[in-house]
Amino acid sequence: MALCHTLAEFTEEPGRITRLFLTPPVRDVHALLRERMEQMGMSVNVDAAGNLRGVWTPVGSTARRLLIGSHIDTVPNAGAFDGVLGVALALECVELARTLQVPFAVEVLAFSEEEGVRFGVPFLGSRAVAGRFDSALLACRDSEGATAESALRAFGLDPAQIPAAAASEEAIGFLEFHIEQGPVLEAENLSVAVVDGIAGQSRLTFEFAGQANHAGTTPMALRRDALTAAAEWIAAVEAHAKDVRGLVATVGAIAVEPNAGNVVPGLARLSLDVRHADDAVRHTAVSGLTAQAKAIAARRSLTVTSAVSLDQPAVALDAHLSALLCRAVEDCGMPGKRMYSGAGHDAMILAARMPAAMLFLRSPGGISHNPAEAVDVEDVAAALPAARAFLQCLAEDNHLQG
């Protein structure tokens, strides 16, 4: 936890934790973590996607390797534990592995980019490690007009070497520790839970187009108000999500034109984020909400268009690795709580290449992506013996070791 608070001081904005992909504070995080890793006898490098990677190898070389990690980038004005706690716990796992004398190496990964804030695309770091980095992503631009390719080169990296960042086929699997970022564990008074899978996501942009006009001279019955249409649809989104078990749907961003107090809005552009553990339910919801938007626009003599920016399928994490993790939790005297994650994580990307598992830690107040984000010391203390028991289970497991 002290390490997390120290890393929180490396920020682009004084007084706020903001650390985007390959910005100067990332160098400071790398420098501190590299020093710690090297003091622990780990070999350290930064791959071509900007991921910091440290490897501890037991006496007598081994090709088999367990990957553990999370991300070090943040959203703007973030908390101190999202992502970073998983990296800090990964370093502790190296010490545990050394004590246990496990027969496999441990690689700690501090992923360069998970949030997708700077270039609008998430998981750039873990995509590279999973061998799924699309070179077209190098053309993405940030708010200053810089491309991802230029950002990598400015950081001293060679984008042409990104394919070499892919994890070895000898990897045993991937483990990620992460705060829950939700209220479930607190509501059930539990320290940790094993994550069975990660919900699928749809992200879209909707644009209602009407007619901008004078607010004083345009009668109510003759208006083509894009904002009131959008407002009606936002309420419909909320109502639909409440009616479908497990569905969450959010309109989190809206832009209005001309955005003047004495002008009837002629254009309203909105985001839509829809998530569910079942992809069929999610797709049905998106189709239904799109149809509702069209119906509302037609009734109000407007037009509406939509565009999909993300269609991320739900991901089931590895059943065997998750069972070992659940057994480890129970061996430490805690309930073997299993749950789905509504948020996306690096584990869902690595799961396409190797067995992957996740352990959630309780989020006090269910708050994340917020300076009030926290974690309780007793929950971190509970995660450590569970990690030790998991490493022991893994060391004895013929299914993964053979």
Structural domains in the chain plus CATH codes? 2-199+315-401 (3.40.630.10), 200-312 (3.30.70.360)
Inter-residue contact 341 to 199 (CB < 8 Å): yes
Dist CA 310 CA 203 (whole Å)? 5
Query: 136-155: per-residue pLDDT in tens?
Result: 999 999 999 999 999 999 99
At 399 the pLDDT is 64
Dist CA 352 CA 343 (whole Å)? 17
At 63 the pLDDT is 82
pTM of the predicted model, to two decimals? 0.87
Burial pattern 94-116, b for ≥16 Cβ within 10 A else e, equals bebbeeeebebbbbbbbbbbbbb
Dist CA 230 CA 237 (whole Å)? 10
Q: Which residue, among 321, 384, 349, has the nearest Cα to 172 in the 3D structure? A: 321
Q: Which residue, among 114, 178, 174, 209, has the nearest Cα to 400 in the 3D structure? A: 174
Low-confidence stretches of the chain (pLDDT beneath 50): none
Inter-residue contact 56 to 161 (CB < 8 Å): no
At 48 the pLDDT is 98
Question: Which residue spans within 5-74 are E strands per DSSP?
Answer: 43-46, 52-56, 65-71
At 261 the pLDDT is 97
Q: What distances in angstroms separate CA 127 from CA 26, 135, 263, 301, one per listed residue?
A: 19, 11, 45, 44
267: Cβ–Cβ under 8 A, 6 or more apart, which residues?
207, 208, 209, 210, 212, 226, 256, 257
Tokens, residue 285:
């919801």
At 397 the pLDDT is 86
Neighbour-count burial of 316, counting CB atoms closer than 10 A to its CB (0-12 exposed, 13-18 middle, 19+ buried): middle
Dist CA 97 CA 105 (whole Å)? 9
At 2 the pLDDT is 96
Question: Which residue spans within 258-383 are E strands per DSSP?
Answer: 263-264, 267-276, 303-312, 315-316, 338-341, 356-361
Size (the chain), residues: 402
Query: 79-128: per-residue pLDDT in tens?
Result: 999 999 999 999 999 999 999 999 999 999 999 999 999 998 889 999 99
Which run of H or of E encompasses 283? helix 279-299
Q: Which amino acid is at 215?
A: A
Bridge partners of residue 204, in order along the sequence = 272, 308
DSSP letter at 353 equals: T
Inter-residue contact 108 to 68 (CB < 8 Å): yes
Could you tell me the sign of the dihedral formed by the alpha carbons of 35, 173, 86, 11, in that order? positive
At 20 the pLDDT is 97
Residue 207: CB atoms within 10 A of its CB come to 18
At 400 the pLDDT is 58
CA 264 and chain centroid, separation: 38
DSSP letter at 369 equals: S
65: Cβ–Cβ under 8 A, 6 or more apart, which residues?
55, 104, 105, 106, 107, 168, 170, 171, 172
CA 132 and chain centroid, separation: 16
